[in-house]
Amino acid sequence: MMRGIYLAAVFALVILFCGGCARDDDSLFGKAYHNFSAYFNAYYNASIEFEKGISAMREAQTFSASDNLHIFSKTENNTAGKANFEKVITKTSEILKSHPVSDLADNALLLMGKAYFYTNELQPAERKFKEILTNYPDSDIFDEASFWYGRTLTRQFHTEEAAEILRSIMKSSKTSDVVMAKCYFSLAELAINEGNLEEAAMLIESGLALEDSEDLKTLAAYTLARIYDQLHRFKKAAETYTFLLNLSPSYEMHYIAQLNTGIALREQSRARLAIKIFQDLLADDNNLENFGEIRFELATAYAQNDELGKAFDLYQEIIYRHPGTEAAAKSFYQLGKLRMEISQDLTMAKTLFDSAKAAYPKGDIAKKAQEQSTTLKNLLDLYDETIQLDSTIQLGILATADVLAEDTALPNDSLESEPAPKKEEPPRKRTRQDYRKSAFLARGAHDAFNETTTQKSSTSTKPKFQPAANEAALKQYQIQAIENRIALGRFYHLTMQTPDSALSWYTQALRKIQADSSDKLATLREVVLFSLSDIYRNLGDTTQMDSVYKVLLADFPESAYINRVREHFNLPKLRRGENAPEQILYTNAIQTLENSQADTSLAMLKTLLSRYPNSALIPKVLLGIGFIYENNLSEPDSAILAYQKLAADYPKSEEAKHVKNKLDAVQSRAKLIPTTPDDKIELPEKPPTPAPEMNRLERFPIKKDSTKANGVQPELQKMIKFAGNRADSVQHNPEKQNLE
């Protein structure tokens, strides 16, 4: 009894003594009083409210496979737990106001700063964290306050400063493992925002080794697995999803992890294991709302496992059981791809892609379906146009008047004046094959099963071309038909990756080009030859590839991609630009010629000819040599020899085209010389007036510059003056770039 009275008295004395402590009393007894009052009156309750706010945020958080990558809970548009965080701010303010000397003051500041952070009041949060760093440098929560300060800067887009602060925390020996893990995760989020997923993955792995909070570890593992998915590192993704499933994820995260594990296994060509996972998901009624998505992934696994019958049936089941969903649109899309790649039924494939776009007209699948549909439409139009062009070209050239006469001719009698009645095609019964085919159209385009049991055949509109009225129009049709064949070849070569079909179309185009000697088709020929060489190279047909390479080396020595050919034959690469030694020598030769030193220039050009016989500049060199002989040294026979060598060795070059008229004139003059035997020559009755003697070059017109007898003609100067390698002036073709 006495003991009870004694304890009560002591307690009363303590209360009376402490009650008299001042607000700023930091004495031993004063501090004890403030710690006691601060904890039980405010800090404990503030901590409880803070945990309630965090729980509310966690419960409101949802997960989707399409979410942006992040580790920490998003707070930008968060309203859950806001009331709890406001209570935290109020109670911690009371601590700082009434008990500023308490040992809990720095903890109260940290709790207040985090509450401000979660209510998106970032500037007050930043101030509270800075107060801790400034006023409590020896605090045991200094590292945690530094982390939150860096994270607040990140939210305010001061990313460089935030990264610097986070790295400095990690270098400190006083930083705890828990804070170190959070720093790794924050730096990983910065790397994700910068698109550096490889670095983000390494940082998250380092953080997972230190983190002890299962909630944060779950979020980090989920993000890491999705990063591996995006990096196509499917083995690591499957391992990380398995690790995640051993934690305590929410239902949504658990479902996504299971589904993505199956997808990752399927992408590793482990289709049987993937099929088992998808079937287990379908057996769980909790996943009822996601059955469309699960069935689609299962059907894709069947297709990868060469169980095409099951895949086709399941895709169609998705279309009818889950209409208007993304899974239905994806099923249409996959059916279109199978039709295009396996049976090459391009018309049906286009219809299926159109159905995919109509079934779910939003999201990436609609965009992909539109792109495929447009590609196939252009391809089918090319088919039709090519057929019509071929028919038009076979007609040849018809005069415009003849065409108009046919169109406006009057009928001969009354029977011809009335058009013959169009005979309607009788309706035909729908066969079982047609019925099965219509199943692919499904509801994305129209409901094939709601149609009547009969249908009328219809034909699509074909392109029509007027008969060519002249040679120019016919030539344009021919070029267009060749370009169409090249486009078809390119589609099968690069898009479909079916070399046999590509080879067929490229070969057709090459035959059409070789049947025409027009210079306009030289560029198309170069494109086709390079395409053929690429196909032969991929097929491993080295004999055919070598044959095509030799043609390219001979006919297109300055092509933008000739170095691939030269490398194949162990030839030195074609050097382009002003720093190539032969280019420097050629430039000096032309400059010397412009300075009226023809002999020196000729010697330099001959040196270039002998030293670099395989140079792409040789056509220019031969033209320059011939020009000097013709205009500066008055040696026409030597000039003709140089021009003839140019025309013989480089017939496709621009320089050869430049001297063609001169050589033709020489040849035509030579034909005028009589070749009749001497005993049969008939003398004319009246002797002809003797013509003045002419050397061979004077028999065809050559314009000389009267102002500069020993100089260079202005028109020819443009041809031979240094302007860089001809290959630099070749315009780059999209077709050539695709081949590269």
Extract the tokens encoding 291: 């059955």
Residue bearing the bigger pLDDT, 472 or 720: 472
Q: Which of 121-125, 166-170, 368-372, 637-641 is least confident?
A: 637-641
Nearest-5° Cα angle at 20, 19 to 22: 110
Residue 443 in this model has a pLDDT that exceeds 60: no
Residue bearing the bigger pLDDT, 315 or 480: 315
565 Cβ contact partners less than 8 Å away, ≥ 6 residues apart: 533, 549, 552, 553
pLDDT of residue 599: 84
pLDDT of residue 125: 92
Average pLDDT over residues 559-567: 80
| Model pLDDT for residues 681-699, shown as the tens digit of each residue | 343 444 444 444 444 334 3
Extract the tokens encoding 234: 């499917």
Domains 1-139 and 471-574 share a fold: yes
- The tally of CA atoms less than 13 A away on the side-chain side of residue 496 is 27
Report d(CA 565, CA 433) in Å as an integer: 51
pLDDT of residue 686: 42
Out of 1.10.357, 1.25.40, 1.10.287, 3.40.50, the CATH code matching 1-139 is: 1.25.40
pLDDT of residue 59: 82
Residue bearing the bigger pLDDT, 709 or 111: 111
pLDDT of residue 598: 84
Share of residues in the chain with pLDDT > 70 (%): 71
| Model pLDDT for residues 93-148, shown as the tens digit of each residue | 877 676 565 667 788 889 899 999 988 899 999 999 999 999 888 888 899 999 99
149 — pLDDT class (breaks 50, 70, 90): very high
DSSP-assigned letters across all residues of 401-452:
HHHHHHHHPPPSSHHHHSPPPPPPPPPEEPPHHHHHHHTTTHHHH--GGGS-
Extract the tokens encoding 685: 């009755």
Superfamily the domain 581-671+695-724 falls into: Tetratricopeptide repeat domain (1.25.40.10)
Average pLDDT over residues 1-15: 42
CATH architecture for the domain at 471-574: Alpha Horseshoe (1.25)
82 — pLDDT class (breaks 50, 70, 90): confident
Report how many helices (DSSP H) and strands (DSSP E) the chain contains, helices first: 36, 2
Average pLDDT over residues 346-356: 91
Residue 38 in this model has a pLDDT that exceeds 50: no
731 Cβ contact partners less than 8 Å away, ≥ 6 residues apart: none
DSSP-assigned letters across all residues of 329-380:
HHHHHHHHHHIIIII--HHHHHHHHHHHHHHS-SSHHHHHHHHHHHHHHHHH
Element spanning 455, H or E? strand 454-455
Report d(CA 357, CA 487) in Å as an integer: 26
Q: CA Rg, the chain, in Å?
A: 43
pLDDT of residue 148: 93
Residue 715 in this model has a pLDDT that exceeds 80: no
| Model pLDDT for residues 281-303, shown as the tens digit of each residue | 999 999 999 999 999 999 999 99
Average pLDDT over residues 385-390: 82
Report d(CA 598, CA 710) in Å as an integer: 8
Element spanning 729, H or E? helix 726-729
Domain extents in the chain: 1-139, 471-574, 581-671+695-724
Residue 544 in this model has a pLDDT that exceeds 80: yes
